[in-house]
Structure 1
Amino acid sequence: MSKRYLRGVASLLLALAIFFGGGESALAQNATIEELIVTNSSTDLLLFLTVNNAFTKQMEEGIRNGIPVTFSFYVKLEHKRMWMNQEFVSLQFDHTLSYDTLKEEYSIVRSELPGQTFRTKTLGEAKKAMAQLNGPPISPLKLLQPEAGYLLRVKARLAEKTLPLYFHHVIPFWSLWDFETEWYTVEFRY
């Protein structure tokens, strides 16, 4: 094959990637955690956070076409030590969003609220519910040492996707949905 032909094919593939969402993948890849708050109830350490820029137009279209999406939130609580921190809590919370085309309804299942399904008719409300952790317990307060230093680290990512066999060929830009935030850390004393 000639170099001219290969350049033409490469240019065509690049143009298709940009046309089918290559420009928007950068938005999802720049997902950030905002409003990260660590607080407590009378018995537990609680976490609140919001993920921004997690959805692209392609993801929204895929959701409307019945493709479920799962966000995973990773939480680590470490006791701050002079030489090396000691991790004593490691949690994962999963949020799964799906759309029922017959009912025209979005459903969100959140692992931190077992047995409860949030349902809404609007994609905006569904996206908000997907991208927030609203006070799941991280650790019982009785396990924390008074006046000790702690680090709470959190990260969010679009969970591994499992499409039915050969579906990856129908949705060629599936990998553009990927996002993963950096680790965000809050340091506090109890």
Structure 2
Amino acid sequence: MKRRIPLLLAIVALLVIAPLLYHLVVDQNPDEMKIKDVLVTNDQTNVLVYARLSHFPPDIEKAILAGVSTTFSFKIEFYRKKKHWFDERLAQLEIIKNIKYDQAKKKFYVTSTFPQTAEAFQEFAMARLAVAEINGIPVVNMKNLSRDQDYYARIKLAWENYRLPFYAEFLRIFLSFRDFETDWQIQPFRLQT
């Protein structure tokens, strides 16, 4: 019985310390993409969301510069906080951006689903900025909100760095490139007067 107590304490300590160490290591990973500078505000008609991606890790930059078509998907959700019940989702949308480098023409092509655009850039820095930012995306109409309620928006990014033909999709598990998703970033919101 006396031998089991130290073993039990060691197991409990490991279960408590391991998640803390994991978060310290993950938070200090410089190559990890994150959503940052999230701003939720409103104009006279809509709630607007602004955000940007922290950076592109070197592997993603290399893939893009090698001509790999890369798709980024910003997922935005807007909630009304509820006491004693689940929060109510008022809006959910996805903004898909794609970047493709044409090595022959030395141009970066960026498309976006919102606003629906297709642009060409000579410089990678400008193309990266067009992909990595969402600016003033209308999420929900102000008529659906009330001043005495608390709200919040949450946003995350998923990316898929290549698309194989349907019959070759099983090969993805053997390739070094992989799909990725950031953590949700949550930003509270109250109506501006």
TM-score normalised by the chain length of structure 2: 0.74
* Matched AA of 1:159: E
* Matched AA of 1:47: V
- Which residue of structure 2 lines up, in the alignment, with residue 117 of structure 1? 118
- Which residue of structure 2 lines up, in the alignment, with residue 104 of structure 1? 106
- Which residue of structure 2 lines up, in the alignment, with residue 40 of structure 1? 42
Higher-Rg member (1/2): 2
TM-score normalised by the chain length of structure 1: 0.75
Unmatched tracts of structure 1, length 5 or more: 1-25
Unmatched tracts of structure 2, length 5 or more: 1-28
Partner of 2:164, secondary structure, is: coil
Match of 1:31 among 30, 33, 56: 33
- Which residue of structure 2 lines up, in the alignment, with residue 172 of structure 1? 175
Go from structure 1 to structure 2 and tell me whether the alpha carbon gap of 1:137 and 1:189 turns closer, same or farther (over 3 Å shift): same
User: Aligned-pair RMSD on alpha carbons?
Assistant: 2.1
Partner of 1:124, secondary structure, is: helix
* Matched AA of 1:145: S
Whether 1:95 aligns to 2:97 is: yes
Partners in 2 of 1:189 and 1:172 — Cα distance? Answer: 45
- Which residue of structure 2 lines up, in the alignment, with residue 81 of structure 1? 82
Partners in 2 of 1:32 and 1:58 — Cα distance? Answer: 15
Partners in 2 of 1:161 and 1:103 — Cα distance? Answer: 21
Q: CA deviation at 1:129?
A: 1.3
Q: CA deviation at 1:179?
A: 2.9
- Percent identity (aligned): 25
Partner of 1:66, secondary structure, is: coil
Give the total of aligned pairs.
Answer: 159
